[in-house]
Amino acid sequence: MRLQDRVAIVTGAASGIGRASAQLFAEEGARVLAVDLPGKKLAQVHENHSTITCLEKSVGDADAAQMIVDEAIKHFGQLDIVMNNAGVAANALVEEMSQEVWDRTMNVNLTAQFRLCQRAIAHLKKSKAGRIINVASVMAEGTDYGLAAYCASKAGVAGLTRTLALELGKFGITANYLEPGAIRTGMTSGLWDARPDVADIWAKKSALRRLGQPIDLARGALFLASDDGGFVTGHGLVVDGGLMLRV
């Protein structure tokens, strides 16, 4: 088992990439604190995994980072892996975007990641295999109409993570970020299901001619969390099936 005796925090863990990653980490020997919003049936989702402990909390709350880290230490006594996966998306042209949409996107996608990393550092320094895995997007490097807030937040995640890698490397802590492409998650499934034609267009844009699945990202996260990724840091791991090759 690649994560035997390690403790991980995974946010946005009720569905999609977070759910798949929390469960794969547990199957590989980790004890996991799974975090998501109240009302997401978090405990029900993970009821068959005895090494996953659930915490219902919005990562966007000002006290979330401290609560999440404290909960992990209280339950498990250590912390080795932080996976910041929770995120939101909104579509609005810059000229029409409300301050509320901008602020919420930046708060959940970027500020919450900063806070959790910041709170976790002291504990990660005690680990022999400290890992930070932040979820960005291929839109950290690209853009599209209406995605100003989303793209800015994900580019911020990339910059934050590279800086963490530089600052924490001397403590043996790695910091990397995932760049998902078109993935069938809780955030996107409604669109794909309602518009199969749109799903087909995105699938055909990929070199592999399919939409990604949460497990595709979870396997990337597992690589970065395990000893296999121990000499990889400051890196954006693109998991997009070749979506961006022609962009």
pLDDT tens-digit series, residues 131-143: 999 999 999 998 8
Q: What is the mean pLDDT of the chain?
A: 94
User: In angstroms, what CA-CA distances link 245 with 12, 62, 205, 241?
Assistant: 28, 39, 9, 9
Confidence of residue 198 (pLDDT cuts 50, 70, 90): confident
Identify the active-site residue in 25, 76, 150, 177: 150
pLDDT at 189: 63
pLDDT tens for residues 40-67? 899 999 999 999 999 999 999 999 999 9
pLDDT tens for residues 26-39? 999 999 999 999 98
User: In angstroms, what CA-CA distances link 181 with 45, 60, 157, 233, 244?
Assistant: 24, 24, 16, 21, 8
Residue 100 has pLDDT above 60, yes or no: yes
In the residue annotation, 145 being an active-site residue is answered as: no
Alpha-carbon span 66 to 245, nearest angstrom: 40
Amino acid of residue 169: G
pLDDT at 191: 60
Share of the chain above pLDDT 90, in %: 84
DSSP the chain: -TTTT-EEEEESTTSHHHHHHHHHHHHTT-EEEEEE-TTS-HHHHTTT-TTEEEEE--TTSTTHHHHHHHHHHHHHS---EEEE---------GGG--HHHHHHHHIIIIIHHHHHHHHHHHHHTTSSS-EEEEE--GGGT---TT-HHHHHHHHHHHHHHHHHHHHHGGGT-EEEEEEE-SB-STTTHHHHHH-HHHHHHHHHHSTTSS-B-HHHHHHHHHHHHSGGGTT--S-EEEESTTGGGG-
For the chain, the C-alpha Rg in angstroms (whole number) is: 17
Q: What is the pTM of this model?
A: 0.95
Residue 122 has pLDDT above 70, yes or no: yes
pLDDT at 245: 87
Residue 199 has pLDDT above 90, yes or no: no
Confidence of residue 247 (pLDDT cuts 50, 70, 90): low
Residue 11 has pLDDT above 90, yes or no: yes
Amino acid of residue 110: L
Alpha-carbon span 182 to 234, nearest angstrom: 23
Specify the CATH superfamily of domain 7-184+213-240: NAD(P)-binding Rossmann-like Domain (3.40.50.720)
Confidence of residue 184 (pLDDT cuts 50, 70, 90): confident
